[in-house]
Amino acid sequence: MLSPRSGGQDRRGAVPRKTGPHGVAPVQVAFLGTGNLAQRVVEACLRDSILRPDSFVVTARRPQRIRELADLGWRVEDNLTAVAEASTIVVGVQPAEIAPLLAEVRPRLGPEKLLVTLTGGATPSALAPYLPPGTRLVCASMHGYTRARGLIALCASQAAGAEDLARVRLLVGPIANEFMDVTEAQLDAVAVFYGCLGAQFFLFVEGVLQGARFAGVAPALARDLALAAVASCVDEMRLTEEHPAVLRDSSCTPGGLAVAGIQVLERRGARSAVADAMAEIMARVRALQAKPADP
């Protein structure tokens, strides 16, 4: 089992360790395709004592990335070795890479192992053709930010049980401030409107800061004011549950400053551009899921 955060200690203050047949602590978790998001999970678990340095293994495809992970002092293995040794397999590759990866490690998977995906848009039914029957699978959808905690949506396959979901919550808990159990049909919406929306938000704030520079406003002041404005808008939406159009109108004085800015955004098609971006991301998610399986 993964170590609880409070972890028991012996009289010398050391955390007791279960060992394998050769006196070596068994590998509990394998992280396949250890990119930025998976690295963030590992670092948070080490910080909170959920994982020990000898209780996990990582993999990567590019030689440079392998060297980077090794420089962190982490054990790096090939995919098949990592899967064979671990009881929990965490997949962190990009959507287009997940099918070939699962096809590669399929001979080492089975009902005795828990498979967790961090790949946006991955669903149990889409991955089923690449997995042995009875594979316990939990798809976790989250944002890709590097430091902030956020919501993590979980969708389990029929073979996964309550203990599996609890294990995943423990493993990714250090980077979460909220969990949401969703159906497979809802998982796409989470990937699009939560997992990807943050990038669109950052682009908007980037435009705000660029406008501030044009107007001669100090960047630090503009950033603080923008964050305060966004936080206020979020609070207003949560408190009132009003439609954004109603809240926008209530924020504008006829002929005022906000209206002048809204007029420019409307002329440039800002609202339509955002809607088109969300539709494009959803189409991309569904196209990846619809790719013919070739296990």
| Domain interval for residue 259 | 197-289
The pLDDT tens digits of the residues spanning 168-179 come to: 999 999 998 889
pLDDT at position 192: 79
The pLDDT tens digits of the residues spanning 13-34 come to: 333 334 333 333 456 999 999 9
Angstrom distance (rounded) from CA 10 to CA 48: 18
Q: Is the separation of the CB atoms in 6 and 54 below 8 Å?
A: no
Cβ contacts of 130 within 8 Å, gap of 6 or more:
99, 102, 103, 106, 293, 295
pLDDT at position 145: 59
Residue 154 lies in a domain: yes
Mark whether 35 and 167 lie in a shared domain: yes
Last residue of a domain, one of 130, 156, 182: 182
Phi/psi at 29 (5° precision): -130, 135
Q: pLDDT under 70 in the chain at which residues?
A: 1-27, 144-148, 289-295
pLDDT at position 147: 65
pLDDT at position 164: 95
Mark whether 217 and 89 lie in a shared domain: no
pLDDT at position 201: 87
pLDDT at position 105: 96
Residue 289's CB is within 10 A of a number of other CB atoms, namely 15
pLDDT at position 119: 78
The residues that bridge with 136 in the sheet, in sequence order, are: 114
The pLDDT tens digits of the residues spanning 223-245 come to: 999 999 999 998 999 898 889 99
Mark whether 161 and 250 lie in a shared domain: no
